[in-house]
Amino acid sequence: MKIRLGIAPPGSADFTQTVDLAEELGIDSLWISERVYDASIDPFIGMAHALSRTRALKVGFGVAILPGRHPVLVAKQLASLAALHPRRVLPAFGVSPARPRERDAFPVDGPRGEVFDEGLSLLRQLLRQEQVTFKGDYYRVTDAGVGPLPAKPLDLWVGGSAPAALRRAGRLSDGWLGSLLTPAEAGARREEIQRHAAEAGREIEPDHFGISIAVALGDVSDDLLASIRRRRPDADPAALVPAGWAAARAQVERYVAAGLTKFVVRPAGREPGLREFLDGFTRELMPLQN
């Protein structure tokens, strides 16, 4: 199985500089999170900008929110990016923003999980069929097409670790990107997703399971600690956020042993300079790739 490690840009880093250095250093992938109420780059705009400046770097969403965006427009954007930059577009979607107050930016007309499932089903069809007629509870289109389709269909990944999210990943996705899970927890969820896929008569490629890791390079920030306590009140933050590069390397190795092979690494705590972060990443973690 292919082990690959990518990065999420440090929050205050110059985005264009991050893109250029990632390409220069041969980093596999750059992942852009959906954060509306701050200075972060929009994931779709950031993906287009990064792909246009590079020749090898893959760019993914880590993750973007699908409910609240119309699947036809999302399919058009992804098909256009894939046509311009083949095999380098890595879309991954979630149900809700990580910050609850940002939900208002993604209004939906029904339960978010149901809207997401239907939207993802429509999105998959639009990226695999030249014409689609779809009649659901939340989306209806007739003879819709988004232009030339990618020669290789785009893999659509999803995030989330709740039971409903795992069922969704097994039934509808091509891969899974988790977060805030120990290696043992992530491995158990990988197995559960595979069970749901088998029950649906599907199979997810064994190297399409990944996780986002925050590496503490100094004290963990209050914002991150608050997020961990809100999402994982039962967990010790130290078990989820390795302290330093040596601990991060050991943590990645434990995830690999649990069956995960794709990783998105970002700094936590004291935010290092961009070059310092990338130097540590390339020195300590990139050698784990095969």
Q: Which residues pair with 144 in a beta bridge?
A: 132
Please say whether the beta carbons of 63 and 168 come within 8 A.
Answer: no
- Give the Cα-Cα-Cα angle 135, 140, 143 (nearest 5 degrees): 90
Decide if pLDDT at 270 tops 70.
no
pLDDT band at 266; cut points 50, 70, 90: very high
Evaluated on CA atoms 82, 3, 267, 283, the torsion sign reads: negative
What number is the average pLDDT over the span 54-75? 98
What number is the average pLDDT over the span 33-54? 96
Per-residue pLDDT tens for 222-233? 777 887 888 899
Considering only CA atoms, which of 256, 249, 241, 93 is closest in space to residue 190? 256
CA distances (Å), origin 259, targets 25, 106, 180, 186, 253:
27, 33, 16, 9, 10
pTM of structure: 0.95
Per-residue pLDDT tens for 82-138? 999 999 999 999 999 988 999 999 999 999 999 999 999 999 999 999 999 999 999
Q: Which domains does the chain have, with CATH numbers?
A: 4-288 (3.20.20.30)
Q: Would you tell me how many other CB atoms lie within 10 Å of the CB of residue 200? A: 12
What number is the average pLDDT over the span 186-196? 98
Phi-psi region of 259 (alpha: psi -120 to 50; beta: other; left: phi over 0): left
pLDDT attached to residue 222: 76
Decide if pLDDT at 250 tops 80.
yes
- Give the Cα-Cα-Cα angle 33, 36, 40 (nearest 5 degrees): 55
Per-residue pLDDT tens for 134-179? 999 999 999 999 999 999 999 999 999 999 999 999 999 999 999 9
Q: 118: Cβ–Cβ under 8 A, 6 or more apart, which residues?
A: 136, 137, 138, 139
Please say whether the beta carbons of 249 and 215 come within 8 A.
Answer: no
Considering only CA atoms, which of 99, 141, 100, 98 is closest in space to residue 118? 141
The length of the chain, given as a count of residues: 290
